[in-house]
Amino acid sequence: MSNSVKIGFLGAGRMATAIAGGMVKNEFKGSDIMAYDCSPGALDAFTAATGAVGCEEPVAMAELCQAVVLAVKPQYLAEALKPLAGKLKDKLVISIVAGMTLEKLGSLTGANRIVRVMPNTPALVGEGCGGYAVSPSATAEDKALAEKILAAIGGFYLLNEKQLDAVTAVSGCGPAYVYEVIQAMADGGVTLGLPRDLARKLAAATVRGAAAMVLNSSTHPTELRDQVCSPGGATICAVNHLAAKGFNSAIIEAELAAYKRSVELGKE
C-alpha cells in the first residue's frame, strides 16, 4: 500500500481534526490529506492543526483523493453529499457518521467500497476505541488503509455490522458513563473536604489507573476489585453500598437503552 494515497475529509470538525492529526503523527503526510467544510473557521482550524490542504469546494477535494472520510453530522450528510453526486462511485468511503448503515451510505454516496466506523470521543486525545465494518466490495488494500488510519487514534476492531450498535452502547456512549462516575467521585471528595480541582484530578487519575490495570493484565476485573477489598475494610463497605444501590444494573440498563436507541437511529 502506497503512502502517497490522498485522503479527503468531508467535514473538518473536532473528530475529523483528531483523526487527521493522528495520521500526520503516524507516517501520513499533511500534503496527502485534504478537507472541505462549509465553515471556513472549522477548515482553517483543521489545516492549522494538521498541515493538511484546505479545499474551497468539495468536488475538487473528492476528485483529487482516492479515499474520502465522511465526518459530518448525520442530519447534514445527505445535503453535504449533493455536490458529490457521482463523484464517489470509484472511491473508498470511510464514514464516522453516527447511525448510517453500510446500505444507507451506499445509497447516498453511490460507492461500493465502504468502511463504517464507530469511534468515540477519546480519539481526540489519541485514546479512541471502537469497531468498524466493511462492505463486501471493500478490498484487502481498502481494509489495510482504514486500519492504518484508525490505528493513529486508538484501537479499533473489525466486526460484523450488526455488532456496531453494541459497540455504540459500550464504547461510543461509554465515555459519558465514565464522566458521570468521575464527577460523582469528585463530588464525594468535595463533600469530604477536598478542594474541587484536587478531587477531580484524583477521581480521573484513579479511573485511568484502574483501566490501565485491566488493559495491561489478564486478571479479571472482579479479581482486581477483590484485591482492593480487604476483609472488614473501607472498600468492601463502599462496594457493598454500590451493589445495594443497583450500580451494576444501572450501567447495564443504560447500555441497553443506548443500544435500543442506536438501532432506532439506524432505521430512521
pLDDT at 1: 43
Average confidence score pLDDT of the chain? 94
**Same-domain status, 12 and 136:** yes
What CATH number is given to the structural domain containing 82? 3.40.50.720
**Same-domain status, 138 and 217:** no
pLDDT at 124: 87
Query: Does 246 score more than 70 pLDDT?
Result: yes
**Same-domain status, 239 and 261:** yes
Q: Is residue 1 part of a domain?
A: no
Q: Is residue 11 part of a domain?
A: yes
Q: Is residue 202 part of a domain?
A: yes
**Same-domain status, 181 and 155:** no
**Same-domain status, 42 and 139:** yes
Q: Is residue 165 part of a domain?
A: no
53 backbone dihedrals φ, ψ, rounded to 5°: -95, 125
Q: Domains in the chain: how many in total?
A: 2
**Same-domain status, 176 and 156:** no
72 backbone dihedrals φ, ψ, rounded to 5°: -120, 165
What cell does 61 get? 477535494
pLDDT category of residue 168 using cuts at 50, 70 and 90: very high
**Same-domain status, 156 and 260:** no
DSSP string, 136-172: TT--HHHHHHHHHHHHTSEEEEE--GGGHHHHIIIII
* Alpha helix (H) residue ranges in the chain: 14-24, 40-50, 58-64, 74-81, 102-109, 140-151, 164-167, 174-191, 196-215, 221-228, 234-244, 247-267
**Same-domain status, 181 and 154:** no
pLDDT at 200: 98
Query: Does 2 score more than 70 pLDDT?
Result: no
Strand order in the sheet with 53-54: 53-54, 33-36, 7-10, 67-70, 92-95, 113-118, 128-134, 154-158
State the average pLDDT over residues 146-159. Answer: 94
pTM of structure: 0.88
**Same-domain status, 18 and 93:** yes
Report pLDDT digits (tens) over 215-233: 999 999 999 999 999 999 9
Report yes or no: 15 and 71 within 8 Å, Cβ to Cβ. Answer: yes
CA–CA distance, 96 with 221 (Å, rounded to integer): 30
Final residue of a domain: which of 131, 160, 189? 160
**Same-domain status, 20 and 133:** yes
pLDDT at 58: 96
CA–CA distance, 219 with 224 (Å, rounded to integer): 7
Report pLDDT digits (tens) over 187-203: 999 999 999 999 999 99
Q: Is residue 191 part of a domain?
A: yes
Find where cell 445527505 sits: 78
Euclidean distance between the first and the last CA atom of the chain, given in angstroms as a whole number: 37
**Same-domain status, 48 and 143:** yes
Query: Does 244 score more than 50 pLDDT?
Result: yes
Provide the residue range defining the domain that includes 260: 172-267
pLDDT category of residue 3 using cuts at 50, 70 and 90: low
Final residue of a domain: which of 160, 189, 220? 160
